[in-house]
Structures are given as C-alpha cells and as structure tokens.
Homo-oligomer: A and B are copies of this chain.
C-alpha cells in the first residue's frame, strides 16, 4: 500500500504538501497540486483512515446499535440513519444486539473502540439502563431511538405512543366496541407503558368501564397467549389490540387457539405490524411509526450534540400514523346504528 511518503517522493514535494492538497487545508500552487494529484493517481494511494483518526481523534463516522435488524421498523430506522449520515458526509457503522443485553454491551464497546464520533442506540434491551450512565462519560455522545428512558437526561427520539393509542381506541369505540383486550407486554418498557396509558385515555373518553377491559402485561408471551385465548373463548370480547409486533404474534395465535376469526367476529389492531401489510391476511389495522424519519431525527440530534456537548438534552416525539385495514372493518358495517 502506498503511503503519503511515496506520493510525496514521486511528486517531488514534502508530505506536508501532500496532506494539504488532500484535505484542502491550505493553498498550494496549481502546478504542484497537479503533480501531487498525478502521483496519487499513479500510486493508487488512499488515505489511511486509522492513522488519520488517531491523529485527529475524530473519525467522521457514527455508530448505530439496533436490537433486531430483522424487524421492518428497525430496518427502516437504520435506513433513515444511514441516509442522514451519508448526507452529512458521515459513514455509518452498524452493530446488532439481537435483543441480548450482553451482546448489546459488546456492540456498543466495539463501536466506541472504533472511535465513532457519536452513537445511536435503537431499542436498548431492558438491561441497558444500568449501562447507560457509564456511557455518559464517554466522549462520544449518545442518542436513544425508539425505546426511551424517561429518567435520564439524554437526547432521545421516539413516537407519540400515548396519543396514537388514544386515537386508535377512539376509532374503535366509535365503531361500538366496548369490551377490549389490550396486550401490553412488558410495561417496564416506556413505549409499552405509554401505549397502555393511551388505552386508558381512550376508554375514559368513551366513558367505558375499565373493569370490563382485559389488560395483559408481562414478559411471557406464551402465558399471554394462553390467557388471551381462554378469555376469547369464554367472553364476548370484540376487539384485541397488540402493542408490538411480537405481542401481535402471540395475540394472533391466541385468536386462532380460541377458534375466533378476524375480522369476522373479533376486531384486531396492532402497533408496528408486519412486513408486507397488504399481503398479510387478514390485513391488519396498524399503528405505524415513522421509522425512517425517526432515524433521520436521531442523526440530527446527534450532530447537534457533537457540535455543542453542553446544551440541555432534547426529546423528540414523532407522530405515528393509523393505517386502517380490514381487521377492524367488519364491525363497522354490522354494528353502527344506521
């Protein structure tokens, strides 16, 4: 591999000059510049990013850690982060944590070791909180994406979970649903507890009995599935809301276990949803995050923080969209008073 020394020798200049034409960091005479460029071309020289980074203690790169790149929402976020990063001349380094706390820790370490100038953390596993404070001391600033932590003075970008759920429930109560099951999952996760709050908002808006609603929380999806299936078999419940994709999987299986069918005799709605929503049967009414834009927003926040490390932390919330599909449609036709 050719180095600056080679280029300098061939061009008949000092390495200092080579460096300056490379970085446009001071004027160099047209003719010398051309000689240098020619030498670069001839040798196929390329800057050594590592040496450069070491000297500048800056890498012009940022890192992104996602818990499950396989989920469509995360893929979109990653895409947004990538696009925004590229637009700012930053390269993006990625690492998966596979929803595993240990792996996540390693991934973060790897990226930090590589001296990324900043870090975006999407959906830190639940165990992350203990590790976040330690990251505060790193020189690389941090922004949290999607899964936020209320109590930490951090830059964060998330969605308006509570509002969205409320809108969804309002829509369903308007369709005359009065007995809901809400699959809320692990309410230690802020996004999920916010969604649950929004559910209660919606129930109150319609002056419905909270006692008539089935609220399923916890971390054991199999148990949730069993409980929901049992309820659906026995009760006259008419609507199921799942608060995330994995919870939707459990809930859909429960619907099937119970011998119920969507949308014929139970309405179904989910947050986040599945890939190919128009192919998935039944087509599911879905509250979708503006994942791409969230990624873009995260990069903005990160860049601003890199600029001014001392400003006070900001939380950005983006609006979600309610995508109505057939899984919540049948009751509308059959029940609305005409």
Contact = CB atoms under 8 A, between A and B. Distances in A.
Interface of A: 1, 46-51, 53-54, 61, 68-70, 72, 75-76, 78-79, 82, 86, 91-96, 98, 103, 106, 110, 113-115, 139, 249, 252-253, 274-276, 279-282
Contact of A95 (B54, B92, B98): B92
B98 A79 contact: yes
A62 B215 CA distance: 46
Contacts of A110: 61, 91-93
A70 B219 CA distance: 25
A114 B93 contact: yes
A253 to B, nearest CB: 7
A266 to B, nearest CB: 15
A50 B115 contact: yes
Contacts of A279: 249, 252-253, 274, 280
A212 to B, nearest CB: 28
Contact of A54 (B54, B70, B98): B54
Nearest to A47: B113
Nearest to A82: B96
Contacts of A86: 106
Contacts of A82: 96, 98, 103
A92 B98 CA distance: 13
Contacts of A115: 49-50
28 contacts: A48-B54, A49-B115, A50-B53, A50-B114, A51-B54, A61-B110, A68-B75, A69-B70, A70-B70, A70-B72, A70-B75, A70-B76, A70-B275, A79-B96, A82-B96, A82-B98, A91-B106, A91-B110, A92-B95, A92-B110, A93-B95, A114-B114, A249-B276, A253-B279, A274-B275, A275-B275, A279-B280, A280-B280
